[in-house]
Structure 1
Amino acid sequence: MPNKSSFSIIDIRKNKIINENFINEILDGLNSKNSIKSIPTVILYDSRGLQLFDQITYLDEYYLTSAELNVLRDKVDRIIEYIPDGSSVIELGAGSLRKTKLILQSLEKSKKNITYYALDLMEDELIKSLSSLGKFSNVQLVGLLGTYEEGMDFAASLPEDVPKMIMWLGSSIGNSSREEGAEFIKSFQTKAMNPGDLFLIGIDRRNHPDKVTIAYNDPKGITAEFILNGLDHVNVILDQPLIDRNDFDYFARYNEDVGRHEAYYKAKKDITLEYTSPSDNTKMTINLKKDELIHIEYSYKYSKEECFALFHDSRLSHLESWPDPDSQYDLHLIYKSPFYFTRNVESQGSIPTVEEWKELWKSWDTVTMTMISRELVLERSIELRHPFIFYLGHVPAFLDINLARYFKEEFTEPRNFADIFERGIDPDMDDPTNCHQHSTVPDEWPSYDSIISYRDKVRQRIISVYDAYKEKVMPRSLGRVVWMTFEHEAMHLETILYMLIQWKNTVPPKGVVIPRWKASLDPVPKANLITIPAQTITLGHDDNESADDTDPLSLPFGWDNERPSRQVTVKSFRIQSRPITNGEYLDFMEKTINKGYPASWIPVNPSLFTYKVRTVFGPVDMDVARNWPVLLSQDRACRYAEWAKMRLPTEEELRSFYDLNEPQLDLSSNIGFSHWHPVDVPHDKNVVQTVGSGWEWTSTEFSAHPGFNKSKLYPGYSSDFFDSKHVVILGGSWATHPRITRRSFRNWYQRGYPYMFCSARLCQI
């Protein structure tokens, strides 16, 4: 005899009687004069509707359920690895729980203490579904009786220290427009999720129209009955016989252009509907013509690009996706990170918004205050760099100094911080005593608390600048200061991260979901060589630093080495479709008996060529990182290129390659903390990878180009490094702020500098 399930029901409905607004929504939709008439989709899901929909999920034609079940059967143990012990799992629109049972059984098997909340509207069906689950020892079952919005409020009320996973299965998001779906998930993210909280969502793909059409119009007519039952429910809600279902047919079609299935009621004849208000007996008349349609449901389908746009618009980070065996349907695991950088290409180079500053500060605080113990801030991980404490003071000091100089005001207290923290060091690797002008290192660094207090005052100073220009246009000269200091902080964010992966005491970032590493035992196919035709391209852009007008601030800003624009002729050449991988570099070392390894690796047994790869989460096995781009110095990249009988591209060659293989900022590309580590290069050799995971070395020396004039705001920014030892790098890494991936941006490092996140792709000689 099966164990009886044990569960409780919590009624979270705020209004337990029929909402008058909902009645008005029904009537307004039916009485629409300016667009197609409509009835809210939720009307389909009364008790009988839920029962009919459950029958639909067993139909062969309705592939969505079987596809999702196949994913769960295959990947459920992988999914629940991400769910921390002590979590609350909240399912939106729980339904029959046939699929959910697989997740709960896996959680039970893992002996994780989980509270599962099943949210639904119909109490009888909720009790029936929970009763079907059986008994659990570690999983506590709770039914939530309420709407999505009420479920959101409930989730927000849970203790902040309780990890959460929201589940929205069955491609239910398809019932909303793309904009509405993104806005709903974003609302959940904003109101009810804390950093580290998970969101598991099932999404149907843009499959063949015939497959989609029959999925919503089965030969047995169950779907038609499900839709027509909604008209009966309308009469129940309105408490009067407004609509005779016999006057309507179910009409469905797939709109391939917009990627959605559309369901309607179709009038069989001219019809007059009459509604009598119970409050004052006033009558409303609604006229329908023969063949007129009443919209009842949309089911949007999503391409890969549309899925990533959905996650991006919701400001949630992507962890993993799992397709069904027939590639019809996907489960996506996304989560709320401690900060989120948008990828608005149009804003690159222009003045950042206050919101962008706040996200940048969240990122800076996540890295400096959760990954570095305050007791260890005086340590240094790279001898060529200052201890960590310098960077905590340098970033606000640079901002404060430039604001004070612009407004001709005093520095923020303590004023001597401007002397201590103004500029860091970048010594010559061959002769560390040779270094550009920098701040004098104090005998004793200021206290941690004093630096944090100083930082907060400087942040308020820049906010005050924005407040002062709410009602007027900011002069371009001030906009330049704001832009420059923003990008300076974003660049140092990446600097401190490459320092941290070299340090044994680094703590994983708080609120970031630690990856569940998977071995990539099979090497990716050899990179294709892509032919780039001869052409003339433009490098840099024109940006007059001395201009101080009130032209729109969307006119791009740029550093001194980006200007002026100049045309360069590029001869035809062939270049690899992707960067060199760790596995390929290891193969080079083994075949040449070369014991020199990249600084991004950690030796385990060098005599056997066994290494691990550094990440902010700690070292990972080479089997995990085998197909990641190798991060290395230019010297090592050149040695590999010589062995491969190839060469590094010039700056103009790499730029022309990027230009011909846009979009560089595809929402799935690995920049701006999409992931906190490099990811595999494409496994399909016909797929071209441009920006992402690591910057890329060129063979071009960083030097003054024709027309170059050093910056007056930051005179040594570029010119201090025109020493024949620095070379240009382009692109961006996983830790690069999206603004800095603008086309004209140029970065540079010493040829032998091994620490930054920089990879390489090769050209044919």
Structure 2
Amino acid sequence: MTFSVINICKKKITRQNIINDIINGLTANEYDTKVIPSIILYDDRGLQLFDQITYTDEYYLTNCEINILNKKVDQITDYIASNSSVIELGAGSLRKTRIILNNLEKKKKNITFYALDLMENELNKSLSSLGTFSHVKLVGLCGTYEDGIDYVATLSNDKQKTIMWLGSSIGNLSREDGANFIRRFQEKAMNPGDLFLIGIDGRNDPEKIAVAYNDPQGITAEFAMNGLDHLNVIFDQPFINRNNFYYISTYDEDDGRREGYYKSKKDQILEFVVSNDINKEKIKINVKENELIRIAYSFKYNKADATKLFYDARLAHVESWSDSDLQYNLHLIYKPPFFFTRPQELKGSAPTVEEWQEIWKSWDTVSLSMIPLDKMHLKPIYLRHPFIFYLGHIPSFLDTKLATYSHEKFSEPENFANIFEREIDHDMDDLSKCNPHSAVPDQWPKLSSILEYQDKVRQRLLRIYDAYKDKQIPRSLGHVLWMSFEHEAMHIETFLYNLVQFEDFLPAKGIAIPNMRPPIRKASDAKLLTIPTQTITFGLYDDGFDWDSERTITVKSFKIQSRPITNNEYLEFMKATMNQNYPLSWIPIDLSSSEYRVRTVFGPVDMSVAMNWPVLLSLEQANHYAGWAKMRLPTEEELLCFYNTYSRNTNLDSNFGFSHWHPTDVPLESNSIHNIDGAWAWTSSKFGEYPEFVKSKLYSRCSSDFFDGKHYVILGGSW
């Protein structure tokens, strides 16, 4: 086998470094637990013993990971692009990794595989054991994790990188340290679209975990006690007597944390001599009978723990695979081109600069990477403007609002405000009529000039933030900034709605395209919920900005379904009624047989994949279904009461803010409540002015143009 090993160590780990860490851990505050760093476990004999542990039946983690790889390796390697790099952290014996490498070789994917490990002799031994490849190039990296981050950052930005961290090594770090470590990799060494494959053990049965880390054969205990022998080698003196300690393992079920300790059999004093250039110093450490010295811990993760880990690392989830007994998971996550934090109460007077930067990244991703540049002047929907209008509309809206607020001139070219300020909106009943809109030019400006204008407006906004960096942004200005921010967020969604009806759109750059598969079964019938009579206040009164005024209303008790209608249920309705009025979110395959696919930003998917997604349809179609099913659409007030009764989902795994780039399944169980995510919900309430409605002084035409009795309220949220 041909391979190379590169020494990438920037900071040599010396014997003295390790001694210092040991002394610091053992001389902690008297109220703190003494700690010995786990690095002392991994001398040559320790590595051999750990390898033996992984072959025991009790240490289920390795067998679970092998089980997943044997079953799902094809699915995993489908995500790894040819001519890319695969980097494994803490490569070890490569026993499991060879399953992945053999599959990549079988698929003839040209891959450079980098195995990172601290021990050069182990790297040579492990890489030598892999056999011969024609398509996989092997490289050993001798260094620490931090060295690995720096080295991976030097790899080509033009080629995908897949980082692998197997064996639930994440558990050796606290939850906070684990998230911080992955985030450093994400920030320093990953580009949008790069993948991270991580193995994580679950919060399993405590007895199972206990025996996994203290096997009956005593191999784990000997592995730990060998570490004490290694201590004496490191200190080069008889520092500690292993016969004076037991090895014990505990598991905190509430925190999902397994810990390994040395337990002192008696009161004792650990002595060692430290030499320096001037003299020798004897250090004594008192250890009491039954006192514990921690040598290792291993954190276990349930789904919520793993979701928070990925969120804190600012990585997005692609797919997960479990072993046959659902004890262990391999998670594939990736670096997205932008990342939105979960929604919080809007306590700030204005969006932060960081929030603006993320929304700009999202707009640029959607508008510039998903449309071929030569197609910018096309209309995906004939009632809308061409794509290029919206690239000018977003900065024009922001610029005109900032200029109006500050009584300043519009940014140059000023005529862009006349061209791009308002989009076209046709009358709902007579398509020959339009609401007021900006003048449509004979020829749209060039894309390059629009992007130059966009940058100019963004810089104008940033100068405002610079001016207020040491003082509070006035409330009135904050209104302008929030309005403009939410306007841009809204148009990202409407732009995507246009895109999915355009045949030539491209997958978004830097997005990992999921391999969407049919669900395990169709959703059970939805539960009918009774919402009690309640009095609610809604609308928002805030003089000088908002277009609504508060109102309080008592809503009588009513019944409502626990979740939205699915694609599959709407298809059954169409078949039962011989109705061929399919939603525009579908594409007919064969009208005669009523077969359809469902539109997504990755292209159409089979109905079998999207059968449990909320159906995306028009108000007319929603009313037809409701009438057939002997139901009705809820009013705005009723839907708000439903949301008040069953709290809105702001969990980290909820599907909004581009957690997924498509709707996801409604709850499959009939007793589960659907949270606000995935798709907007229709109401039967017409969009109209509340009592005491006052037009916005800043943007008077925004709402009032649509108080025509033809527009209806939608609530909730979408992906």
- TM-score, with structure 2 as normaliser: 0.96
CA distance in 2, matches of 1:250, 1:276: 26
Secondary structure of the residue that 2:153 maps to in structure 1?
helix
Alignment-mate amino acid for residue 702 of structure 1: F
CA distance in 2, matches of 1:132, 1:648: 65
CA distance in 1, matches of 2:441, 2:684: 38
Tell me what 1:410 maps to: 409
Tell me what 2:185 maps to: 188
Tell me what 2:82 maps to: 85
Tell me what 1:35 maps to: 32
Alignment of 1:316-331 (within 5 A): 316-331=315-330
Pairing 1:23–2:10 present: no
Secondary structure of the residue that 2:275 maps to in structure 1?
coil
Secondary structure of the residue that 1:657 maps to in structure 2?
helix
Match of 1:682 among 647, 653, 667: 667
Query: Is contact 1:527–1:685 with CA below 8 Å preserved after alignment?
Result: yes
Tell me what 1:367 maps to: 366
Alignment-mate amino acid for residue 120 of structure 2: E
Tell me what 2:9 maps to: 13
Secondary structure of the residue that 1:588 maps to in structure 2?
helix
Pairing 1:514–2:513 present: yes
Alignment of 1:370-409 (within 5 A): 370-409=369-408
Pairing 1:588–2:578 present: no
Alignment-mate amino acid for residue 11 of structure 1: N
Alignment-mate amino acid for residue 499 of structure 2: L
Tell me what 1:757 maps to: none
Moved more, 215-224 or 684-693: 684-693
Alignment of 1:462-541 (within 5 A): 462-520=461-519, 522-541=521-540
Query: Is contact 1:521–1:623 with CA below 8 Å preserved after alignment?
Result: no
Alignment of 1:257-656 (within 5 A): 257-280=254-277, 281-347=280-346, 351-520=350-519, 522-545=521-544, 559-561=546-548, 563-564=549-550, 566-656=551-641
* Cα deviations by residue, 1:716-751 (Å, 9 ceiling, x for unpaired): 2222211111111111111xxxxxxxxxxxxxxxxx
The change in CA–CA distance for 1:26 and 1:649 in structure 2 (over 3 A counts) is same
Tell me what 1:158 maps to: 155
Secondary structure of the residue that 1:440 maps to in structure 2?
coil
Q: Aligned-pair distance for 1:313?
A: 0.9
Match of 1:126 among 102, 123, 131: 123
Q: Aligned-pair distance for 1:442?
A: 1.6
Q: Aligned-pair distance for 1:268?
A: 1.7
CA distance in 1, matches of 2:670, 2:238: 63
Query: Is contact 2:428–2:710 with CA below 8 Å preserved after alignment?
Result: no
Tell me what 1:761 maps to: none
Alignment-mate amino acid for residue 382 of structure 1: I
The change in CA–CA distance for 1:20 and 1:662 in structure 2 (over 3 A counts) is farther
Tell me what 1:711 maps to: 696
Secondary structure of the residue that 1:628 maps to in structure 2?
coil
CA distance in 2, matches of 1:405, 1:42: 63
Query: Is contact 1:175–1:300 with CA below 8 Å preserved after alignment?
Result: yes
Q: Aligned-pair distance for 1:24?
A: 2.3
The change in CA–CA distance for 1:275 and 1:457 in structure 2 (over 3 A counts) is farther
Alignment of 1:750-765 (within 5 A): none
Secondary structure of the residue that 1:646 maps to in structure 2?
coil
CA distance in 2, matches of 1:227, 1:119: 24
Secondary structure of the residue that 1:591 maps to in structure 2?
helix
CA distance in 2, matches of 1:37, 1:17: 22
Alignment-mate amino acid for residue 9 of structure 1: V
Q: Aligned-pair distance for 1:60?
A: 1.7
Q: Aligned-pair distance for 1:215?
A: 1.4
Query: Is contact 1:47–1:122 with CA below 8 Å preserved after alignment?
Result: no
- TM-score, with structure 1 as normaliser: 0.91
Secondary structure of the residue that 2:614 maps to in structure 1?
coil
Secondary structure of the residue that 1:297 maps to in structure 2?
strand
* Cα deviations by residue, 1:355-379 (Å, 9 ceiling, x for unpaired): 1111111111111111112222111
Pairing 1:666–2:651 present: yes
Alignment-mate amino acid for residue 169 of structure 1: L
Query: Is contact 1:18–1:237 with CA below 8 Å preserved after alignment?
Result: no
Query: Is contact 2:250–2:258 with CA below 8 Å preserved after alignment?
Result: yes
Unaligned runs of 5+ residues in structure 2 are none
The change in CA–CA distance for 1:631 and 1:178 in structure 2 (over 3 A counts) is same
Match of 2:252 among 251, 255, 273: 255
Match of 1:56 among 53, 57, 66: 53
The change in CA–CA distance for 1:704 and 1:74 in structure 2 (over 3 A counts) is same
Alignment-mate amino acid for residue 560 of structure 2: I
Alignment of 1:685-700 (within 5 A): 685-700=670-685
CA distance in 1, matches of 2:282, 2:485: 62
Alignment of 1:140-179 (within 5 A): 140-179=137-176
The change in CA–CA distance for 1:25 and 1:707 in structure 2 (over 3 A counts) is farther
The change in CA–CA distance for 1:593 and 1:249 in structure 2 (over 3 A counts) is same
Tell me what 2:209 maps to: 212
**Corresponding residue pairs, total:** 716
Alignment-mate amino acid for residue 75 of structure 2: R
Pairing 1:720–2:705 present: yes
Tell me what 1:552 maps to: none
Q: Aligned-pair distance for 1:477?
A: 1.1
The change in CA–CA distance for 1:68 and 1:315 in structure 2 (over 3 A counts) is same
CA distance in 1, matches of 2:366, 2:234: 53
Q: Aligned-pair distance for 1:284?
A: 2.9
Secondary structure of the residue that 1:393 maps to in structure 2?
helix
CA distance in 2, matches of 1:227, 1:379: 68
The change in CA–CA distance for 1:328 and 1:17 in structure 2 (over 3 A counts) is closer
CA distance in 1, matches of 2:227, 2:346: 46
CA distance in 2, matches of 1:20, 1:287: 22
The change in CA–CA distance for 1:218 and 1:85 in structure 2 (over 3 A counts) is same
Query: Is contact 2:427–2:435 with CA below 8 Å preserved after alignment?
Result: no
Alignment-mate amino acid for residue 30 of structure 1: L
Secondary structure of the residue that 2:45 maps to in structure 1?
helix
Moved more, 185-194 or 623-632: 623-632
CA distance in 2, matches of 1:406, 1:20: 64
* Cα deviations by residue, 1:500-557 (Å, 9 ceiling, x for unpaired): 11111211111111221323484322222223223223323443446xxxxxxxxxxx
Alignment-mate amino acid for residue 436 of structure 1: N
Alignment-mate amino acid for residue 267 of structure 1: S
Pairing 1:222–2:219 present: yes
Q: Aligned-pair distance for 1:568?
A: 2.8
Alignment-mate amino acid for residue 724 of structure 1: G
* Cα deviations by residue, 1:560-588 (Å, 9 ceiling, x for unpaired): 33x42x33323333322221111111111
Secondary structure of the residue that 1:567 maps to in structure 2?
strand
Q: Aligned-pair distance for 1:70?
A: 1.3
CA distance in 2, matches of 1:513, 1:623: 21
Moved more, 459-468 or 536-545: 536-545
Query: Is contact 1:321–1:331 with CA below 8 Å preserved after alignment?
Result: yes
* Cα deviations by residue, 1:273-314 (Å, 9 ceiling, x for unpaired): 233333232333322222222222121111211111111111
Moved more, 613-622 or 314-323: 613-622
Moved more, 422-431 or 356-365: 422-431
The change in CA–CA distance for 1:480 and 1:237 in structure 2 (over 3 A counts) is farther
Q: Aligned-pair distance for 1:138?
A: 1.4
Moved more, 699-708 or 73-82: 699-708
Query: Is contact 2:59–2:213 with CA below 8 Å preserved after alignment?
Result: yes
Tell me what 1:737 maps to: none
Q: Aligned-pair distance for 1:651?
A: 1.5
